[in-house]
């Protein structure tokens, strides 16, 4: 018994960090992406908007625990009193627990001095961008140690009513004329918690007749192999899922809906290895996150408004304003020219922009004025050219016409289709505003039925590889302690450009074992960045069914572990469901939706 207890404790020590991870919703918080090095604005980190004069992405210092080699640098000037960079993030809802943090640094050979103060600002904004509340900390000043990363933290704070987004700002401020030295920010994060449980009947309390399962099967799940609902043991309620080893593989699965790039899912379950019939040999049991292709590709959209009717020798703007369709995660922005055998002349593109609704004011396109690149075939940096060599082409052109921005343009001509494109990451439902300036010179004016303009093509993104059993956190084997509930979990963030249907699977792999039983219970899956209040069943209301789950999950302050559905109800992310969480829950009871 003592041995089992020690093993159990050892196992729990290994798994004790199975608390829900927080979701960092800052883009490029480690400053690894963007222009540089070392140059002053506009060479800024991707996703950030700068203010003031001396602010730049820098490769001079880097916060070591964070990957990469870059940080954000600022220093003062004589005429102003502040500089910095900010990012607005729309993935925040009222009542949500929000924490902002960053690391700050100043080198001994250029130490921040005078009246300079550096820190972090967190603002909650309404749908119109108005500030609902503001918190700021300035932990770094002339008295701070040199060559040492100093943390700055704000929160956790509860997002006030009306919150639509947050703005996090890295800010250096000073009294005019009284500042010297430089300060650096790195590892900027904004974290959120909460969300509905995406798994229905995750505690296996409701029996039923779903297809493909044993006679003792379980509603909402589809089963295969040697599995059944059991009342031998339970972590929550009176029932659990029992696996045997009669088949090579046995399990249950449940589809959870679509996940898109950046979605952060946390899956949790509890497993019980009975001493009366424990796992043996190389049997493995765990939870899997499986993916399948998600939806059809929506049709492209285009605006080919530029034709021979447009006067020569003047720049004309062509725009395309749209909304990213469901499930789409990648948009291909195309500068397109469409000619035919009767078309003559050429069209020049310049100053192309693509602005996402979630990142207002930021052009997502690189080399937007076609200045970079050696020219010739595929000679424009960041752009991919297409066409038919010798028939229709689109290539870099400098000094042929007066550019709208800089000195170069992209020139398209020919008797067929040609153009250039770039792909950007987008989020379903956000606006996407495209703009380009087009020009045809009088020495080779566009004629005939040729047209040109902008086009956007959509992609639903890639399907990530499954998260299979065998991982350190989501799998138990014959070495697992017996007769105790053990947490197993998957903490996964969908990679850039991905979109897929997600499936929660509980599975046992028999291997060569001849015996063994295991129980699973309290399956939860919370998409942490899709916060939905206290709506644990995800049906877009907060009613007595949600309250019944809240009442059961209530632990009081200082709980040892979160119970089933605690992932959803622990709004302030302090690892319990207590009066603070109840204070969040009760004002939001709406009753059942129609």
Partner 1 sequence: MKRSNPLAIFAILSLCAVARAQTVSVTLESPQQGQLVAPSATIAWQITFTVSNNDNAGLALLVCDLVQDTANPALIDLPPADAVPAGMSNFSRPAGISNPGENGTDSGYVGVQRGTTGAMNLIQIGGGQNTFGQALTGAGIAENANVLPGVGQGGTVLLAAGSFAAPSACGDYNFSLANVVANVLQQANDPPAFSPVVQATTDTSAATLSFTVGLAGDLDGNGTVDLADLAALLANYDTPSGMTYADGDLDGDGDVDLSDLAIMLANYGSTC
Q: Does 12 bind partner 1 (CB under 8 A)?
A: yes
DSSP secondary structure code for residue 579 in this structure? H
Among 114, 544, 569, 571, binds partner 1 (CB under 8 A): 544
Give the bridge partners for 243, in sequence order.
227, 518
Among 179, 187, 235, 280, binds partner 1 (CB under 8 A): 235
Cα angle for residues 450, 451, 455 (degrees, 5° grid): 145
Contact region with partner 1 (CB under 8 A), list: 6-14, 24-32, 128-136, 261-269:
6-14
Q: Does 249 bind partner 1 (CB under 8 A)?
A: no
Q: Does 2 bind partner 1 (CB under 8 A)?
A: no
Among 233, 304, 362, 513, binds partner 1 (CB under 8 A): 233
Nearest CA-CA partner of 394 in 419, 368, 369 = 419
Q: Does 483 bind partner 1 (CB under 8 A)?
A: yes
Contact region with partner 1 (CB under 8 A), list: 3-11, 35-43, 275-283, 285-293:
3-11
16 versus 127: smaller Cβ distance to partner 1: 16
Q: Which residues contact 41 (CB under 8 A, 6 or more apart)?
A: 50, 53, 55, 56
Q: Does 570 bind partner 1 (CB under 8 A)?
A: no
- Residue 539 tokens read as 């049906």
Secondary structure (DSSP) of 322-343: EEPPTT--EEEEEEEEE--TT-
Q: Does 9 bind partner 1 (CB under 8 A)?
A: yes
355 versus 570: smaller Cβ distance to partner 1: 570
DSSP secondary structure code for residue 22 in this structure? P
Among 554, 567, 568, 584, binds partner 1 (CB under 8 A): 554
Distance of CA 349 to the CA centre of its chain: 33
12 versus 366: smaller Cβ distance to partner 1: 12
Q: Does 113 bind partner 1 (CB under 8 A)?
A: no
525 close to 506: Cβ distance less than 8 angstroms: no
Distance of CA 46 to the CA centre of its chain: 15
Which residues within the stretch 30-49 sit at the binding site for partner 1 (CB under 8 A)?
none
Q: Does 404 bind partner 1 (CB under 8 A)?
A: no
Among 174, 272, 413, 421, binds partner 1 (CB under 8 A): 272
d(CA 336, CA 45): 29
361 versus 558: smaller Cβ distance to partner 1: 558
Q: Does 366 bind partner 1 (CB under 8 A)?
A: no
103 versus 505: smaller Cβ distance to partner 1: 103
Q: Does 237 bind partner 1 (CB under 8 A)?
A: yes
Residues contacting partner 1: total by CB under 8 A: 45
The three-state secondary structure class of 386 is strand
d(CA 240, CA 288): 18
Pattern 573-592, binding to partner 1, x per CB under 8 A? xxx---x--x---x--xxxx
CA quadruple 387, 393, 398, 399: dihedral sign:
negative
d(CA 567, CA 563): 8
Distance of CA 13 to the CA centre of its chain: 30
Contact region with partner 1 (CB under 8 A), list: 208-216, 400-408, 435-443, 568-576:
568-576
- Nearest approach, Cβ of residue 92 and partner 1 (Å): 19
Among 70, 105, 291, 485, binds partner 1 (CB under 8 A): 485
d(CA 424, CA 359): 12
Q: Does 208 bind partner 1 (CB under 8 A)?
A: no
Residue located via tokens 């103060």: 117
**Environment class of residue 206 by beta-carbon count within 10 Å: exposed (0-12), middle (13-18) or buried (19+)?**
middle
Q: Does 239 bind partner 1 (CB under 8 A)?
A: yes
13 versus 143: smaller Cβ distance to partner 1: 13
19 versus 323: smaller Cβ distance to partner 1: 19
Contacts 24+ apart (CB under 8 A), 43-48: 44/85, 45/70, 45/72, 45/85, 47/87, 47/359, 47/362, 48/72, 48/85, 48/86, 48/87
Residue located via tokens 């207590």: 578
Q: Does 178 bind partner 1 (CB under 8 A)?
A: no
Q: 15-43 burial string, b = 16+ CB within 10 Å, else e?
A: beebbbbbbbbbbbbbbbebebeeeebee
Nearest CA-CA partner of 31 in 5, 7, 66 = 66
Q: Does 5 bind partner 1 (CB under 8 A)?
A: yes
Contact region with partner 1 (CB under 8 A), list: 246-254, 333-341, 354-362, 571-579:
571-579
Q: Does 205 bind partner 1 (CB under 8 A)?
A: yes
Contacts with partner 1, residue ranges (CB under 8 A): 5, 8-9, 12-13, 16, 19, 205, 231-240, 272, 483-485, 543-545, 547-548, 551-552, 554, 556, 558, 560-561, 573-575, 579, 582, 586, 589-592, 594
């Amino acid at each position: 018994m003592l041995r089992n207890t020690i093993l159990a404790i050892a196992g729990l020590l290994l798994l004790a960090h199975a608390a829900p991870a927080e979701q960092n919703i800052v883009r490029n918080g480690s400053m690894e992406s963007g222009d540089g090095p070392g140059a002053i604005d506009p060479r800024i980190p991707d996703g950030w908007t700068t203010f003031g004069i001396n602010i730049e992405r820098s490769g001079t210092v880097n916060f070591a625990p964070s990957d990469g080699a870059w940080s954000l640098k600022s220093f003062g000037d004589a005429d102003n009193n502040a500089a910095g960079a900010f990012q607005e993030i729309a993935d925040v809802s009222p009542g949500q627990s929000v924490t902002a943090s960053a690391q700050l640094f100043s080198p001994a050979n250029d130490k921040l001095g005078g009246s300079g103060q550096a820190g972090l600002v967190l603002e909650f904004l309404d749908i119109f961008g108005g500030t609902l509340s503001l918190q700021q900390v300035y932990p770094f000043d002339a008295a701070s140690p040199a060559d040492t990363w100093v943390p700055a933290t704000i929160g956790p704070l509860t997002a006030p009513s009306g919150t639509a987004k947050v703005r996090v700002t890295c800010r250096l401020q000073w009294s005019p004329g009284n500042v010297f030295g430089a300060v650096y920010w790195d590892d900027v994060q904004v974290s959120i918690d909460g969300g509905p449980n995406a798994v229905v009947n995750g505690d296996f309390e409701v029996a039923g007749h779903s297809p493909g399962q044993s006679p003792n099967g379980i509603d909402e799940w589809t089963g295969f192999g040697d599995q059944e609902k059991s009342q031998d043991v339970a972590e929550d309620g009176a029932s659990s899922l029992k696996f045997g080893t009669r088949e090579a593989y046995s399990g249950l699965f449940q589809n959870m809906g679509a996940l898109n790039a950046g979605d952060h899912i946390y899956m949790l379950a509890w497993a019980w290895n009975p001493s009366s019939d424990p796992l043996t040999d190389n049997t493995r049991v765990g939870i899997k996150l499986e993916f399948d292709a998600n939806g059809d590709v929506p049709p492209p959209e285009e605006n080919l408004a530029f034709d021979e009717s447009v006067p020569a020798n003047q720049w004309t703007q062509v725009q395309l304003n749209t909304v990213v369709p469901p499930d789409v995660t990648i948009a291909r922005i195309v500068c397109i020219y469409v000619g035919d055998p009767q078309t003559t002349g050429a069209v020049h593109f310049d100053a192309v922009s693509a602005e996402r609704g979630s990142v207002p004011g930021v052009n997502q396109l690189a080399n937007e004025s076609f200045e970079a690149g050696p020219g010739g075939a595929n000679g424009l940096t960041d752009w991919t050219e297409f066409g038919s060599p010798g028939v229709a082409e689109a290539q870099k052109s400098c000094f042929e016409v007066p550019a709208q921005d800089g000195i170069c343009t992209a020139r398209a001509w020919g008797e067929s289709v040609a153009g250039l494109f770039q792909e950007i990451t987008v989020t379903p439902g956000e606006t996407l505003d495209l703009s380009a300036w087009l020009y045809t010179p009088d020495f080779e004016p566009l004629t005939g039925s040729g047209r040109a303009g902008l086009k956007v093509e959509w992609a639903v993104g890639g399907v990530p590889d499954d998260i299979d059993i065998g991982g350190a956190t989501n799998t138990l084997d014959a070495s697992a302690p017996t007769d105790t509930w053990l947490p197993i979990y998957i903490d996964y963030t969908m990679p850039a450009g991905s979109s897929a249907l997600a499936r929660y699977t509980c599975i046992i792999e028999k291997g060569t074992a001849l015996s063994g039983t295991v129980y699973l219970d309290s399956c939860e899956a919370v998409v942490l960045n899709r916060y939905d209040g206290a709506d644990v069943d995800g049906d877009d209301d907060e009613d007595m069914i949600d309250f019944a789950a809240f009442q059961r999950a209530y632990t009081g302050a200082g709980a040892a572990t979160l119970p089933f559905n605690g992932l959803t109800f622990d709004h302030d992310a302090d690892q319990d469901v207590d009066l603070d969480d109840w204070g969040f829950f009760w004002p939001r009871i709406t009753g059942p939706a129609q």
